[in-house]
Amino acid sequence: MAWTVTNNTPSLRVFTRPLSPYELGFFYDGKFNGVADLVENYLAATRDESLFRPENVSRTWVAVKQIFPLLGATTKELKSQMPGALFVVSELDLGIARPNDVTLGLAQSKEEVHSIVDRLITGPRQLSDHLLARLYIYSRTDKPGHFHVLFLRSHVIIDGTSALTMIRTFFDILSLPPCTGVPDLPTRLALCVGIHNLDPDKHLPEGQRRWRRAAGQIIRQNRFQKLKVRSRFGTAC
């Protein structure tokens, strides 16, 4: 599940890696009308509305994609007897705001924003194999300086915890002066590995791995027993 360079031309490099079995499940979930797509609604209030000008938002999104390259990745389903797919990360795509990466609009109320979120969840799918994450920003006409940032993404590239890190980074970069430094792409991709690659025991024989799992379960049960307390009525809690 390592990344492979398919085009090594400077500034035009393309990297691919197979989806892990866990990722592949979310990949096919997404194809069933986006049942694994997630959307989050963040409300930002600012006195400096210029932060949300199109050029600053596009600059920020490009910088965030370069830090979290799977945001700009595409997927390619393999034609084989066994289900399979690849992540494809293009260095060129990470350096630009692609069409539909970011959508800016106006909303007259909180209820209208909630209606938009509902359409993103229940309406026609807004993501695809070529667009795994999108950002929608709506300026509230009834509350100057208030902006709703809707982050729509496929679960195949990001979960809830990492999404919080990503959106915090987005707001940090949005409010800071431009930075010319570009993160090293291979270094960032080295962090984007399949979950099974994080197993510290993957190098061990299967028998020894089963033994360790059994021992860990026993230790967990023993610790859980010690956490139990008795109420004054004599019932274990």
Both structure tokens of 141: 């006409």
Whole-number pLDDT of residue 225: 81
pLDDT at 95 over 90: yes
Secondary structure (3-state) at 210: helix
Mean pLDDT of the chain: 89
- Say how far apart CA 73 and CA 3 lie, in whole Å: 13
Taking the domains of the chain in order of start, what are their residue ranges? 4-192, 199-237
* CATH class of the domain comprising 4-192: alpha beta
Mean pLDDT of 108-113: 96
Lowest mean pLDDT among 27-36, 184-193, 223-232: 223-232
Quick: pLDDT tens for 121-168. Answer: 999 999 999 999 999 999 999 999 999 999 999 999 998 888 999 999
What is this structure's pTM? 0.82
Whole-number pLDDT of residue 15: 96
85-90 and 146-154: which strand pairing?
A: unpaired
Question: Using 50, 70 and 90 to split pLDDT, how confident is the model at 176?
Answer: very high
Lowest mean pLDDT among 1-5, 57-61, 102-106, 228-232: 228-232
Quick: pLDDT tens for 189-215. Answer: 998 887 666 666 667 788 887 888 888
Q: Higher model confidence: residue 9 or residue 231? A: 9
Whole-number pLDDT of residue 196: 66
- Say how far apart CA 45 and CA 25 lie, in whole Å: 38
